[in-house]
Each structure stands twice: as C-alpha cells, then as structure tokens.
Amino acid sequence: MPVPLLDVNAQNLPLESELTAAFTKVLREGKFIMGPEIGELEQQVATMVGAKHGIGVSSGTDALLLALMALGIGPGDEVLCPTFTFFATAGAVSRVGATPVFVDSCPVCFNVDVNAARKKITKHTKCIIPVHLFGQSADMDAVMALAKEHGLSVIEDGAQSIGANYKGKGTGTIGDFGTYSFFPSKNLGGFGDGGMVVCNDDALAERARILRTHGSKPKYYHHFVGGNFRIDTLQAALILVKLRRYADYTRLRRENAARYTAELSKLPGVVVADVAEGRCAANNEAALAAKGAKIVLPAAYPHNDHIWNQYTLRIVGDGKRDEFKNFLGTKKIGCEIYYPVTMDQQKCFADLPEAARSSCEVAHRLAGEAISIPIYPELPRAHQDEVIAAIAGFVS
C-alpha cells in the first residue's frame, strides 16, 4: 500500500461543511480584501504564540521580505542566515538588496550554529535570521546575546515552527519579528499561499502594516515604498477553521514522532541524536561513529517544545541516504530531502563574496544525509508501521 509523505485531504475533508460555511460567509460579505476575518486570524495567532501584534500576509516568503523592509535592511547590509534552510530565507535578503551571509549548522538540531555566526560578523552585519527548522527552535538565548552584543536585529523564520516554544516562549516572539507560513505542508496549512508576521513593538508593527499595502496610510498617501503583501480574506476565514484544531494537530504530530523514536531506536545501528548537553554540539561525529550509527533519529532539546513539521533522519555514510531514498521508493513510501543543496552552493549565490559562502561543512554533510519521513497528524497507524518495517529492513 502506498504511504504518502503528506495527505492534506485527511485533515481538510472532515472539515468540509465548516470550511464551506466559512467560504459562504465571506462570499456573502463580499469583503475579499482586508475583510474582518483577517483581523480575527491575526489576533488569534498572536494570542496563541504570545505576540502583541499579528500582521497577515501573502506568504511566509513575503513575511520575511516585509520584516526586512520594516527594519530598513538594504544595499550594503549583511544578514546572517543559516545555509541549511529553505531558499526563501536567503532569497528575501537578496531581494531587499542586502547580502546574505551563510552560516553553518548544528548537526544535532539542524539549526544555525551561533558560534559559527559570530565568526562571520563584520561592520556591515545588521541582522540575523535564525530558522526554526523542522519545528524545533534555534538556540535563541545565544542568538539574542550575539544580536545584543553587535546591535543586530533578529527576524525569526518560524515558517515551520508556529506554536513551537523555546524555554516556554513562542518561536517568533523572541526577536524583533517572527514570520510564519500557511503553505499547505506547514503545520497550520492553508488552502494556497498565506503567512503572518508577528511583532511586540508597536512602531515596528505599524510600519509593517503600512508596508503591507504599498506603504500607504491613508490610501493613496505613501510614506515609503511597500508592496501588496496582503493575505486574502477567504484564506484567513478558512485558516480560522483549522486554527481551532491546531492543538490537536500538534499533539498528533508529537505522538507520531514519539512512536517513531520508540520503535526505530530499538533497531541495530539506529541512534537518537544526542541532546543530553541541552545545547548545540560543535561536532558529534566521533561519538556517532563509536556507536556504529547508521541512522540518527531527530530529538528535541529539553527546553524546546518541538512541533515536528518534519521528522528528519540522518542516514550516515557516503551515498547511503540516496540508497535509503531509493529503497523507500521501491516500497512506495513517501519521503523528501529537505534540503539537498545548501544556500552557499546555489548557483544564484555563486557571485557572493567568498566570506559569505565559506565554512559550511556541517551543513554540506547534512544536505547529503537528511531525509524526512511521513509525520503528518492523520498518518494512519498502519502506514507508520510500514515505514518502521521498511527502515528495519534497510538496517538489517
């Protein structure tokens, strides 16, 4: 039986009558641009994550762009961002005319290595964008300390981490801005593109709100050059229906993750990532080799509430990950490589200064080892059993 990586219908179709009612309400109101559901979604998401302001936008990508614009980041500025991330993080930096400076990753949690970030600071560095990859927070105490020391602004890319916590605080609410995505594969998946910016500073939030609509307030009076970064009323109305279930979705993802870890860690050569120290490890390769690890399972630091946007394995050894991917393919088990190419290796960034692209060795290794398996909330037990059985077959 085929096991898909994600089945959006399993979550959406049971809500069909409520979604249809939400659609009908917006249809009859006729306020398709900036209708009342947008304010409702903004307020509810902000409350859920613990932020003062929410600003609904057209995508997680535009959320990043808007945050950079609101902070006045532009040509001549350097912005630190992890090299092992989705393209949007780096792309947004380039789009405002600034230079993305790529930083290596922690091999345990996949997030930005803050010590490596420190080494890349210059007098032009203005901002750092930690990404909370796969649903687990980056080391925010270290990020904030570095930012304070060097006067940097902080934008948290929380596209994969809406509702995840770091030491009890919502990811996205710790820096100057946090950004979220409602892309269908994200934890709060919408019905097309959408996103949100959150912020605790009144003046910055107001600036972002104005920039969202061409920098105008009132209409036709432009303070700065903004864009059209609005979320649709319809999109907001539909996402509100799913937001009411969000705690359940997260609980189910956590149960699936716990079950994978419990079952897979019994297999020979399968070890759990070492989070015992509670902080990002510089290099644990020797320890992994000593344990004879073939597969490393993901784990959460004790201070993090992980929301498991992805359950990402490391398949150790040259060419082993691709072998594993092919093996799952023959069993019709869905999987995806997030991400096969780091940002420093992208063709579009080949002209960046050498210093922006150097020292990303851990991330290069992760790009060769990482692979994500099905973890979505409605993943049927029988499907999960098939995934586990397949992995048992691979390591035996």
- Which chain residues interact with ligand PLP by CB under 6 A? 59-61, 85-86, 88-89, 131, 157, 159-160, 181, 183, 193, 195
Instruction: For ligand PLP, give the closer residue by CB, 86 or 102.
Output: 86
Read off the tokens for 324.
């594993």
Closest C-alpha to 336, from 385, 370, 304: 370
Residue 60 C-beta: closest distance to ligand PLP, Å: 2
Instruction: For ligand PLP, give the closer residue by CB, 98 or 131.
Output: 131
Instruction: For ligand PLP, give the closer residue by CB, 164 or 264.
Output: 164
Contacts by 190-193, CB closer than 8 A, 24 or more apart: 190/235, 190/238, 190/239, 190/242, 191/12, 191/235, 191/238, 191/239, 192/232, 192/235, 193/58, 193/59, 193/235
What count of other Cβ atoms lies within 10 Å of the Cβ of residue 94?
14
Closest C-alpha to 111, from 306, 325, 358: 306
Read off the tokens for 147.
């930012």
Instruction: For ligand PLP, give the closer residue by CB, 100 or 288.
Output: 100
Q: Any idea what the Cα angle at residue 274 is, between residues 273 and 277, rounded to 5°?
A: 150
Residue 365 C-beta: closest distance to ligand PLP, Å: 19
Instruction: For ligand PLP, give the closer residue by CB, 280 or 293.
Output: 280
In contact, 63 and 51? CB cutoff 8 Å:
no
What count of other Cβ atoms lies within 10 Å of the Cβ of residue 148?
10
Residue 323 C-beta: closest distance to ligand PLP, Å: 26
Residue 214 C-beta: closest distance to ligand PLP, Å: 20
Distance, CA of 306 to CA of 372 (rounded, Å) = 15
Residue 228 C-beta: closest distance to ligand PLP, Å: 15
Distance, CA of 369 to CA of 315 (rounded, Å) = 5
Residue 67 C-beta: closest distance to ligand PLP, Å: 11
In contact, 138 and 132? CB cutoff 8 Å:
yes
Instruction: For ligand PLP, give the closer residue by CB, 172 or 383.
Output: 172
Instruction: For ligand PLP, give the closer residue by CB, 96 or 270.
Output: 96
DSSP 72: T
DSSP 180-207: EE--TTSTT--SS--EEEEES-HHHHHH
Distance, CA of 247 to CA of 238 (rounded, Å) = 17
Residue closest to ligand PLP, measured at CB: 60
Residue 190 C-beta: closest distance to ligand PLP, Å: 9
Please state the φ and ψ torsions of residue 351, each to the nearest 5 degrees: -90, 0
Residue 330 C-beta: closest distance to ligand PLP, Å: 28
Instruction: For ligand PLP, give the closer residue by CB, 298 or 383.
Output: 298
Residue 85 C-beta: closest distance to ligand PLP, Å: 5
Residue 92 C-beta: closest distance to ligand PLP, Å: 8
Instruction: For ligand PLP, give the closer residue by CB, 157 or 232.
Output: 157
- Cβ neighbours of residue 362 under 8 Å, at least 6 residues apart? 104, 105, 106, 107, 113, 283
Read off the tokens for 215.
């920098």
Residue 137 C-beta: closest distance to ligand PLP, Å: 13
Cα 364 to chain centroid distance, Å, stands at 19
Instruction: For ligand PLP, give the closer residue by CB, 269 or 334.
Output: 334
Instruction: For ligand PLP, give the closer residue by CB, 12 or 384.
Output: 12
| Amino acid identity for residue 364 in this structure | H
